[in-house]
Structures are given as structure tokens and as C-alpha cells.
Amino acid sequence: MLEETEVKEIKRSVLKAQSVNKSQQKPIFKGWKDTLIGYTFISPMLIGTTTLVIFPILATIFLSFTDWNFVTGVGGFNFIGIENFEKLFNDEIFIKSLINNFLLLLVVPIGLMISLSIAVMINNHVYFKDFFKVVYFMPYISSVVAVAIVFQVLFHPTQGPINRLLMELGIENPPGWIADINFALISVMLILIWTNIGFQLIIYLAGLQNIPKELYEAAEMDGATSWYKFRKITVPLVSPTTFLLLVTGLISTFKVFDLIIVLTDGGPANSTTVPVFYLYEQAFVELRSGYASAIAVVILGLVLTVTLLQWIGQKKWVNY
């Protein structure tokens, strides 16, 4: 039998342990307070995202199945099902704009190859690196309207400096550039490559500085050439950077609007019309909001599809 003092000691130990456990437990309402404080802090971003992103997307999807326009007002729309989409894929101008946009996708890989080559040269063989970073970055931060106006002058078919130089070099019939159906889209692509090189160059330079120099030194000791080091060391180790620029670049090609509306206004003969520009025309010129919403839904679907394909494909060539 336990003595009375031992029993009291055991009871005292049990009570002490229970009091410690109770002190360690958080009150129920304290967790709710933390949650409320957290939602309070994220509420500005949550309200902004819901108002400016989520709600417009849902409204656009809904309006794409109607014939609504700005003139009729809020209540003046009729539900017409997939009629807008049926018209859309029988619309020659929209099909032409899709083809133009898919051709614009070539801007991204071409620009990445040029940017990576320049970044390697600047990183390894050029003095005053900061100066050249600024020089190449200036077109990217310049006003798109200013860039478009400058290239309107440069690409002028008769009085432009580029064609005058080509004629001085003996080319009798130089391209008409933005005035030529066959060269207008190529002119836009050249400008996009030129303006985006600066941003891609800066990102690539950051990626190149993270490659250990010991890898290049070991390759040199084994007699590797510069081209071999570029293919086997540089390109694989900057593949995450390439993947980032590829995803953001391909998405941005579906948003090219300001350059085209200032430079060519979609012409000549719709040779530079892209879906975003055609959406603008249908929504704010023709006032066909339902039809424009259908175009927006198609663009959203294309962007999501292209991005998904890149995420699936990156497992085969991106080295983390």
C-alpha cells in the first residue's frame, strides 16, 4: 500500500502536468484572430485581383455567348450560344490574324539565341560590361510609341534611310517594309527582336554568373573548344533561364498591340493584324462586345495551351 505522502505527491505531479498542458494549448479564438489578421493583410491584393482579373475573365466568358454591345446597355443582350465562335472560325480576317500571331512566335526563339550569344560575349570577352548592359537595355525601356514612330521613318519605302542605303549599295528594288504585304510582318518581328534583346540579355547575364568557373576550367584541361563548352556547359546550365524567358516571351507575343496600332494599324491588307488588334477593332470600333469576348476567350485558350505544352516539354530539356 502506498503511503499517504506518496499519494499526495503523485496527485500533485498529475495536477502540475495538467496545468502545463493547459498553458501550452492556444485558445480557440486566438487562431481565428490570426486568420482574420492574415486575410486583412491580403485583402487589398485579393480585392484588386478579383475586381481586375477574375471578374473580367468570368464576365468575358459569359458575354462570349451573347450578342451584347456597348450601345444597348447592361440589359440589352441575348444569349446566342456558340454562334459567336462559329462565326469566328469562319472569319477570314481572324484566321489570318491567328496565322500572323503564330508567325510572331518565331520572334522568341530567334531573340533568345541572339541574346544568349551576346550575353556570353559580354560576360567573357568585353570590358565596360555595365555600359553595354545599359546600351542594350535602352530599347526595352523606351516608349513603344516612340520606337514605332522612329521605325516608321527608318522603314519608309522611298525616303527611309534603310532603303536609301540599300539603293546606294546597288539594290535597285529594296523591300517596301511596312508598306509591303510580304515584309510588313517581318518588319514588326525585327522590331520586337530588337526591343526584347535588352531584357533577355540582362536575365541571361545573371544566369551565366551562377555557372561555376571550375566547369569551364576542367573542360579546358581536357582540350574542349569554345563551341563545345557553349553547347555542353553553358546551354544546359542556363536552361532554367531559357525556360523562363521562353514562357514569358511566348505569352507576350499574344499581347502585341501598341506597336502594331502605331506602326501599321494592322495593314497593309491585314498582313500585320493579330487577334488582340482584331479584338480591339470589334470591341471599340464595331462595338460588337460579344464577338470581341469570343476572341478574348480563344486567345486565353491559346495562351493556356501554349503554356501547358511548355510545362510538359520542359521536363525533357530543362536542367535544374
pLDDT in tens, 111-140: 999 999 999 988 887 777 788 888 888 889
Nearest in space to 62 (alpha carbons), one of 299, 289, 301, 278: 289
What pLDDT is attached to residue 37?
85
What pLDDT is attached to residue 32?
76
pLDDT tens per residue, range 232-253: 999 999 999 999 999 999 999 9
Note whether 146 and 191 are within 8 A (CB): no
DSSP annotation of 67 reads -
DSSP states of 201-232: HHHHHHHHTTS-HHHHHHHHHTT--HHHHIII
Residues 6+ apart with CB under 8 A from 294: 64, 84, 85, 88
CA dist., res. 199 & res. 295, Å (int)? 30
pLDDT category of residue 2 using cuts at 50, 70 and 90: very low
Quote the radius of gyration of the chain (alpha carbons, Å). 30
Paired with 79 in beta bridges are 66
pLDDT tens per residue, range 138-149: 889 889 999 999
3-state secondary structure of 291: helix
pLDDT over 90 for what percent of the chain?
Answer: 48
pLDDT tens per residue, range 184-209: 999 999 999 999 999 999 999 999 98
pTM of this structure: 0.82
What pLDDT is attached to residue 199?
93
Nearest in space to 108 (alpha carbons), one of 286, 251, 225: 251
